[in-house]
Amino acid sequence: MATEAHDHPNYFMVWVVLLLLLVVSLAAAYMPFSQTLTVILIFVIAAVKALLVASFFMHLKIEGKLILAIAIVPVILFVIMTISLLPDIVYNPVETATQKLEAPKSTVH
């Protein structure tokens, strides 16, 4: 990423890249890809966008170890929590999750 003299990222360029990624994720959603590929693409793009915002706008890239640890630990906990709940909810789902949801009579579009 464009970095100027003293730890000074080019914020405008970061913003341009973020907007490009938004367009790419929209394109990926509308392309006739398989659902699996679409889901992987849009979430990889979201993760890259989040990393860009955290690294450059929130200055995590140049922040000390303490703040880096405060930021990363809950993210790891979130991942552990999600994975540990996976067997309960996805492999042995309750009826509320699996019932097919019908749209109401009238629709937005």
Kindly write out the interface string for residues 27-66 of this chain, putting x where it contacts other proteins by CB under 8 A and - elsewhere.
Answer: --x-----x--xx--xx-xx--xx--xx-xxx----xxxx
Cβ contact 1:13 at 8 Å? yes
Q: How far is the CB of 3 from other proteins (least distance, A)?
A: 14
Q: Encoding tokens for residue 51?
A: 């990393």
| Residue 5, burial from CB neighbour count under 10 angstroms (0-12, 13-18, 19+) | exposed
Task: Record the tokens describing residue 44, joined without a space.
Answer: 């990889």
Per rule CB under 8 A, is residue 105 in the interface with other proteins?
A: yes
Q: Is the CB of 1 or the CB of 78 nearer to other proteins?
A: 78
User: Residue 3: beta bridge partners?
Assistant: 9
Minimal distance in Å, beta carbon 18 to other proteins?
Answer: 5
Nearest to 9 by CA among 45, 46, 48, 63: 63
Q: What does the block give as tokens for 15?
A: 């913003």
Residues forming the site for other proteins (CB under 8 A):
6-8, 11-12, 14-15, 18-19, 22, 25-26, 29, 35, 38-39, 42-43, 45-46, 49-50, 53-54, 56-58, 63-67, 70-71, 73-75, 77-78, 81-82, 85-86, 89-90, 93, 96-109
